[in-house]
Structure 1
Amino acid sequence: MLVSRVKNHAIRQHRVLLSLVVLGFLIWRSSSRVRVTDMPAVRVEGLNANSSRFTLNGEPIRILGGSMHYFRVPRAYWSDRMVKMKACGLNTVTTYVPWNLHEPERGAFKFHGQLELEAFINEAARVGLWVILRPGPYICAEWDLGGLPSWLLRDKNMKLRTTYPGFTAAVNSYLDKLIPRVVPLQYMKGGPIIAFQVENEYGSYGNDSQYMSFIKEALVSRGIEELLVTSDNRQGLHRGGLKGVLKTINLQKIHPEVLRQLEAAQPDRPMMVMEYWSGWFDVWGGLHHVFEADEMVPVIAELLSQGMSINLYMFHGGTNFGFMGGALGNQPYRPMITSYDYDAPLSEAGDYTPKYHRLRTLFRGYQSDNLPMMPKSQQKKPYKAVTVFQHLSLWEALVYLEKPHHSLRPVNMENLPVNNGNGQAYGYTLYETAITSGGTLNSKNNVRDKALVFVDKVFIGVLDYKTLELAVPDGKGERILSLLVENCGRVNFGKDLNNQRKGLVGDIVLNNTPLRNFNIFSLDMKPDFIERLQSTKQWKSVPKMLTYPAFFQGKLWVSGYPADTFIRLSGWSKGVVFINGQNLGRYWSIGPQQTLYLPGPWLKRGVNQVPPTYLFVRSQACVCGIYTQIGTLNSISCVSKLY
């Protein structure tokens, strides 16, 4: 489990009502000295890479950067995290831009609130940080489908990250909306953006020789004038790159032959590590990755001693809120956990770590002026456990969904006729059909990614990548077979990108006969459904014997100024948690993550009304897993630390 550096404090008891429902600029003056300056009033030249050193406005500069993603950090904390970056000695912040958040439905764009990219960039300028923007359209980032919108997959012939006309048309439409927002924020127009990255690690993926040129032209033709760079790992470096675009490398350990290869590919040009991996990501059911400061700092010191620029990925990782975590490929399929702590110098909750302090000491040696003071960490509070007092079964909640889609054969969620013709992107999909016999149910490996299977609402087992068959009990007459399929996250890297349709992606068979005539319910957990569910009067007290899947509500009282905390779901198995309309993300008892980060700005004084959240549980106490005593499932602990 990810370890937070949150200290327990003795504090007085607070109560706030909470409804829970569980379902720089560093200018290089010599090879080792930089100083902090103000942004220049007169700008004659942007970031230049035509010699062995970067120059900015004609002055030598070494980029000391760190990655932080605005979409993984509550907007209220953008400034806090950036000020801490500045205080560590960084002069640049880098961020990806997630297309799937900004255009969740084709032609419907979102650039407000948490997604107000211009505000994030302007805040960086206010703090005193340059910006390197990585607009994609593909970003990887351990993000669902690498940041590409799922509605692209409605096209059965789609070829992502190529010059396939269906893809390039969508990219052009998106960039028509995105790029005009950032053009005025370029360095030579008075803004903080000093460079743009062209796509992301294409050398490890593609074989379309025209694709990267298309992306470059798409940026330049829309007014991008600052330095362009590409970014590749050691496997893709020899295939990546573009004429006239600076190559950068991604790594964690120094491989001299790779650095020599980079230098040979572009002699007498600056050397930069665009992604120095300060840690690593975690997957459900795996181990928590730790990269010790004693291993990391000497590598960074060596890279700096060689005159290189560097960007730490991540400097502050944040959180995969909602359903947005990606996955590793299908051999085997491994979905990302909710936390994106990344064992980074700033923790998921923005706290200082030993890495931060060691880096601050290192970077101080590259400055002639004193570093800014370190701001205090955000306060954390432990809250009393939440007693779950209401529940609503999945079957009772179906009436609050849109009418089911009737189909002769299974339809994958992206091709369902919902969301204004954009299909279903995230959440759960319920497939129901009539059967007249028992026998062997075989998924033919067409479940993406996990299905709870029921006969007449009685749970009979799970189908997933490992379990392809289930025994269906015999019974009299016609019965309803139900498969509740969860999209656990689309692959974000590798050759499987084009095969990331979710739900039932093909036939399932009973006794070798394909099932037909489905009613398909879309449970995408979008705000309108959550609001309808919350307003119903059908909620019931939690019984001694529970039936899952179900939605649950609970209340927590807090007074005083809301502070950050973590929710520990002891005894719960799998689901998501909403707080005041914010989806905190998935939890799963298999770990390594055992708590969910709850930012204080998402709480409020008094009553915190929370839309219901979907939860399904397989009890650890019995084999069948669908009925269990409430036991330890009657509370959710709000704690001040990750374990």
Structure 2
Amino acid sequence: MTVKICFVLAVNFAYLAVNGNLVNGDRTFSIDYKNNCFLKDGKPFQYISGSIHYSRIPRYYWKDRLVKMYMAGLNAVQIYVPWNFHEPVQGVYNFTGDRDLGHFLDLANQTGLLVILRPGPYICAEWEMGGLPAWLLEKPNILLRSSDTDYLQAVCNWLNILLLKVSPWLYANKGNIISVQVENEYGSYHACDYNYMRTLQKIFRNLLGADTLLFTTDGNTDKEMSCGSLQGLYATIDFGTDANITTAFQRQRRFEPHGPLVNSEFYTGWLDHWGEGHAQVDQWKVSKMLREMLALGANVNMYMFEGGTNFGYWNGADHDTRFRPVVTSYDYDAPLTEAGDPTEKLLLIRDVIKEFRDVPAGPMPPATPKFGYGFVTLRKVGNIASLLNTFSPQGPVKSQYPLTFEEMKQYYGYMLYRTKLPRELREPTPLISPLNGVHDRAYVTVNGVYQGMLERDTTLVMNISGKQGDTMDLLVENMGRVNFGSQINDHKGILGDLLLVSDVLSNWEIYTLDMDGAIAGGWPHSEAPQSPPVRQKEPSAGPVFYMGTLQPNGLAWDTFLKLNDWSKGQVWINGVNLGRYWPSRGPQQTLYVPGPLLSTTQPNNITVLELERAPDTPRVLFMDRPQLNRTTGRS
């Protein structure tokens, strides 16, 4: 049934494409198996590409980044399409503003860059749930990335929207998309479901036509290449500077005896996790290895060429021995920084590319201007309990036992769980998450007094005290769903019973919290604070909101926000969610603030949710440079 639905729509599109004169038979992109190369319009072609994620860069800066990539000598860019970015609620699609994929493709085309499209449906990318929408988890037993009927139906519905939208941009249709990846690094997933890959292959073929070059990408092991590749999809490999080029390409040759050599992800840097060191990859190793691959005639995509930012709640997480969320910055130690600035690594790469192809004449566009706007003092607005009418005007859902984020249909951010203490707790008494069921952090208050925190895999027991009937609130934070490996079915919230010693806590009131909607609508600056300002030296513990304004000075330049002595939380500027801060754990110490978010004439509203403890004097600092490399360890 799933494939049949896709096939019907594909036939209709094929009719429209032919009758609408979209197809141009003179433009072709294919593989020459005899001469081991790509053919573009019948001539040998080698691509030198870089990865860029439009979902991590403000639309205002798309052109700037693409021009810098073009001036570095690239002739192609590689992009992921995050499903959850475009269909955050099932059946509701968004391709406007920062999600305007068509506009991005158009800008790349205008700039002279071909596109290697990676539409998933799973993308990894250190992105929330690997790009899969969290609403899939409303079916608790769904088997993601498999032949599961519910999953495939959702995939088919999505691909019918996405692939038909990008079809006019195929190279044969006068666009710039030269190849399309099916799934992503599937050999790294435990399922190894060839029927799933065959179904995807049929869907892509039906929707994109027989002549579109489809490929797979997998890691540099036999198992990954074996489970991720499929006859009829050209198999490519990925590896970084720690690999042996000859050995890696010999592995690709075992799966593709003939055709072009392709490193689909040559790692120029790496990602960061909270509480770990800032990843860096030596620029000389990158340039040396790039030169060697290009000399072999290999096609190379550099991952990343610019990383960008995990704004809002879009960061992913890993889970090997424990849950390890990815930081807000996706700088990636890439040739272009998080803010799109050229680096020495970029200039070295351009020098290498010059040895193999003509690089556009002219200077590299400069870094965007930066400005340190200085300190802004904030004032307390109120704690979560005092703001429930603002964030959850519909009131709570009552349940005997806790419900997950997915069951409550709030997929990201924060929810509040409330219950009453069943008995007197005169001495500190253990509150226990016996099955590690708090995903991912719970900030616990009793009658408004902060008691401490439960954390997934790390802190499963804490002590509380109080009287029988006291209100206990747990503000639970989704720190980002696992994006890689076997645990991507990553439900959030309180997943199982909580115990007070041996007593099972029950009779919960559960509040979904639309913080982002309220703040985007102007709160708290549009109305009077709901609690009086605290004395400057009075500490505030537990989840508390703060507000302030950055006064305009006629500039709207990029800047970096530092929260000295703050613990952990979320920041919004003019209603836009910049992402999470966690300087007490590091390594990231500043948040990137794109200049286009700032007003040159009106006060710029700053809203901070501090989850643990604010400094005695709550103020923030706007700097002219980032700090991404100071790890203080786990706190």
- Find the counterpart in structure 2 of residue 299 from structure 1: 289
- Find the counterpart in structure 2 of residue 126 from structure 1: 110
Letter in structure 2 aligned against 1:596: L
Structure-2 separation of matches of 1:367 and 1:469: 60
Structure 1 residue 451 corresponds to structure 2 residue 432: no
Structure 1 residue 412: deviation in Å?
Answer: 0.8
Matches within 5 A, 1:348-387: 348-368=338-358, 370-387=360-377
Structure-2 separation of matches of 1:127 and 1:181: 21
SS of aligned partner of 1:303: helix
SS of aligned partner of 1:238: helix
* Deviation string, structure 1 residues 245-301 (Cα, Å, up to 9, x no partner): 111111003333332121132122101000001100000010001101122111111
SS of aligned partner of 1:554: strand
Structure-1 separation of matches of 2:63 and 2:534: 42
Structure-1 separation of matches of 2:303 and 2:140: 35
Structure 1 residue 582 corresponds to structure 2 residue 576: yes
Q: Could you tell me which runs of 5 or more consecutive residues in structure 2 were left unpaired when the two chains were aligned.
A: 1-23, 628-635
Letter in structure 1 aligned against 2:206: S
* Deviation string, structure 1 residues 419-459 (Cα, Å, up to 9, x no partner): xxxx1111111111111232321111110011111211111
Aligned match for 1:340, one of 326, 330, 338: 330
Letter in structure 1 aligned against 2:575: G
* Deviation string, structure 1 residues 49-86 (Cα, Å, up to 9, x no partner): 43401110011111100000000011011111111101
Aligned match for 1:237, one of 225, 243, 246: 225
Q: Check the 8 A contact 1:86/1:372 in 2, yes or no.
A: no
- Find the counterpart in structure 2 of residue 139 from structure 1: 123
Structure 1 residue 395: deviation in Å?
Answer: 1.6
Deviates more, 1:152-161 or 1:366-375: 366-375
- Find the counterpart in structure 2 of residue 280 from structure 1: 270
SS of aligned partner of 1:93: strand
Structure 1 residue 175 corresponds to structure 2 residue 159: yes
- Find the counterpart in structure 2 of residue 24 from structure 1: none
Deviates more, 1:184-193 or 1:202-211: 202-211
Structure 1 residue 427 corresponds to structure 2 residue 418: no
* Deviation string, structure 1 residues 181-228 (Cα, Å, up to 9, x no partner): 100110011000000000100011132121111112111111344211
Q: Check the 8 A contact 1:389/1:554 in 2, yes or no.
A: yes
Structure-2 separation of matches of 1:345 and 1:612: 32
Structure 1 residue 391 corresponds to structure 2 residue 385: no
Structure 1 residue 87: deviation in Å?
Answer: 0.7
SS of aligned partner of 2:155: helix
- Find the counterpart in structure 2 of residue 641 from structure 1: 625
Structure 1 residue 477: deviation in Å?
Answer: 3.3
% identical equivalent positions: 39
Aligned match for 2:192, one of 175, 189, 207: 207
Quick one: structure 1 residues 91 and 511, their matched pair in 2 at CA, closer, same or farther if it must change by over 3 Å? same
Structure-2 separation of matches of 1:340 and 1:553: 26
SS of aligned partner of 1:137: coil
User: RMSD of the alignment, in Å?
Assistant: 1.8
Deviates more, 1:233-242 or 1:520-529: 520-529
Q: Check the 8 A contact 1:530/1:611 in 2, yes or no.
A: no
- Find the counterpart in structure 2 of residue 74 from structure 1: 58
Q: Check the 8 A contact 1:577/1:613 in 2, yes or no.
A: yes
Structure-1 separation of matches of 2:506 and 2:158: 38
Structure 1 residue 390: deviation in Å?
Answer: 4.3
Quick one: structure 1 residues 487 and 61, their matched pair in 2 at CA, closer, same or farther if it must change by over 3 Å? same
Q: Check the 8 A contact 1:425/1:524 in 2, yes or no.
A: no
- Find the counterpart in structure 2 of residue 48 from structure 1: 31
Structure 1 residue 612: deviation in Å?
Answer: 3.9
SS of aligned partner of 1:397: helix
- Find the counterpart in structure 1 of residue 586 from structure 2: 591
Quick one: structure 1 residues 611 and 160, their matched pair in 2 at CA, closer, same or farther if it must change by over 3 Å? farther
Letter in structure 2 aligned against 1:55: L
Aligned match for 1:437, one of 417, 424, 427: 424
* Deviation string, structure 1 residues 295-339 (Cα, Å, up to 9, x no partner): 211111111111101000000000000011000115211100000
SS of aligned partner of 2:226: coil
Aligned match for 2:474, one of 483, 489, 504: 483
Structure-2 separation of matches of 1:307 and 1:425: 45
TM-score (norm. length: structure 1):
0.88
Deviates more, 1:132-141 or 1:374-383: 374-383
SS of aligned partner of 2:332: coil
- Find the counterpart in structure 2 of residue 103 from structure 1: 87
Quick one: structure 1 residues 330 and 263, their matched pair in 2 at CA, closer, same or farther if it must change by over 3 Å? closer
Structure 1 residue 471 corresponds to structure 2 residue 435: no
Letter in structure 1 aligned against 2:332: Y
- Find the counterpart in structure 2 of residue 23 from structure 1: none
TM-score (norm. length: structure 2):
0.89
Q: Check the 8 A contact 2:549/2:606 in 1, yes or no.
A: no
Structure 1 residue 238: deviation in Å?
Answer: 2.6
- Find the counterpart in structure 1 of residue 543 from structure 2: 549
Aligned match for 1:561, one of 546, 555, 565: 555
Q: Check the 8 A contact 1:383/1:558 in 2, yes or no.
A: no
Q: Check the 8 A contact 1:565/1:598 in 2, yes or no.
A: yes
Structure 1 residue 579: deviation in Å?
Answer: 1.0
Structure-2 separation of matches of 1:55 and 1:44: 10
Instruction: Count matched residues.
Output: 585
- Find the counterpart in structure 1 of residue 15 from structure 2: none
Letter in structure 2 aligned against 1:259: F
Runs of 4+ in 1 over 6 A off after TM superposition: none
Letter in structure 2 aligned against 1:478: G
* Deviation string, structure 1 residues 403-426 (Cα, Å, up to 9, x no partner): 11111001111111xxxxxx1111
Structure 1 residue 483: deviation in Å?
Answer: 1.2
Q: Check the 8 A contact 1:564/1:598 in 2, yes or no.
A: yes
